[in-house]
Amino acid sequence: MIDTGAADSGPAVRIIGRSSSHFTRVARVFAEELAVPCDLVAVHDMTSLDPENYAGSPALKLPILMSDGSAIFGVQNICRALAELAHPPRRIVWPEDLRDLHSRNAQELVWHGMQAQVQLVLGTMIAQLPAQNVYFAKAAASLENVLGWLDTRLPSIRAALPPRDVSVFEVALFCLVEHLAFRPTLPVEQYRRLREFAQEFATRPSRRSHTSKGQSISVRTIRNAGRSTRTGRLHISWPASSTTRSSGHKERPGCPIVIIGRSPIV
């Protein structure tokens, strides 16, 4: 069971998810962009069928936001809840603010691409099912098609976005491209515009303070749902935290992580 209560005097807002999940990372990037302090409570066993291991979500999906004792399901709902907590308010482009068909299609395809990769990872890597199964072969083909479509149209899509501080489309696309580099279900080298966009987005202040190469952020590990605690440092490597090691670097600002249970699996 996930312990969603406060372990200490840390932030009251907690994101239940995985550091290796691109849906979770959308929520975390939004929190950083909006300067909303949060903790990450890690879910380690994605094969669990117990809703209590997903903060009570009946869908058995991540992420979940815990705020003021209430659970908020789904990444878009979480982003909206984080926006309500932001001070000062930011100019956010939501999916319903997209003005043209290409932009609206692009947002839908980014969501599809993210879900298709979850399908491939869960089915072929975790469940060890054959990748040639038509269910996964079609998912892989659709993901490849989506990336090609987005790569071709990305400059015009971004140019059509309204004035903004941040957009759901760009955050989600960044997390998708970053995750493809982290979990290489499909090669991304051929998608030059997508790679250039991800490199550009990674220079934003929120990304530099969160996952830049060589970044060291505060970590609090809670073992056995709070029976014992320790503090330390987590060294983050770019593009994702696929490896960790001890670090003596001075602590810098960032979104603190709370890890429940054993060491994270990424």
Please give the mean pLDDT across all residues of the chain: 80
Q: Which residues of 131-153 are buried (b: 16+ CB within 10 A; e: fewer)?
A: eeeeebeebbebbbebbeebbeb
pLDDT tens, position by position, 15-60: 999 989 999 999 999 999 999 999 999 998 888 999 999 999 999 9
Spell out the domain ranges in the chain.
14-91+207-260, 95-204
Split at pLDDT 50, 70, 90, the class of 10 is low
| pLDDT at residue 120 tops 70 | yes
Comparison of pLDDT for 72 and 232, the residue scoring more: 72
Q: What pLDDT was estimated at residue 90?
A: 95
Comparison of pLDDT for 232 and 193, the residue scoring more: 193
Residue range 95-204 in CATH 1.20.200.10: no
Full 3-state SS string of the chain: CCCCCCCCCCCCCEEEECCCCHHHHHHHHHHHHCCCCCEEEECCCCCCCCHHHHCCCCCCCCCEEEECCEEEECHHHHHHHHHHHCCCCCCEECHHHCCCHHHHHHHHHHHHHHHHHHHHHHHHHHCCCCCCCHHHHHHHHHHHHHHHHHHHHHHHHHHCCCCCCEEHHHHHHHHHHHHHHHCCCCCCCCCHHHHHHHHHHCCCHHHHHHHCCCCEEEEEEEECCCCEEEEEEEECCCCCCCCCCCCCCCCCCCCCEEEECCCCCC
Phi/psi for 235 (5° steps) reads -90, 125
* pTM (predicted TM-score): 0.77
Give the CATH superfamily of 14-91+207-260: Glutaredoxin (3.40.30.10)
Beta carbons of 30 and 78 less than 8 angstroms apart: yes
Nearest CA-CA partner of 36 in 68, 92, 79, 7: 79
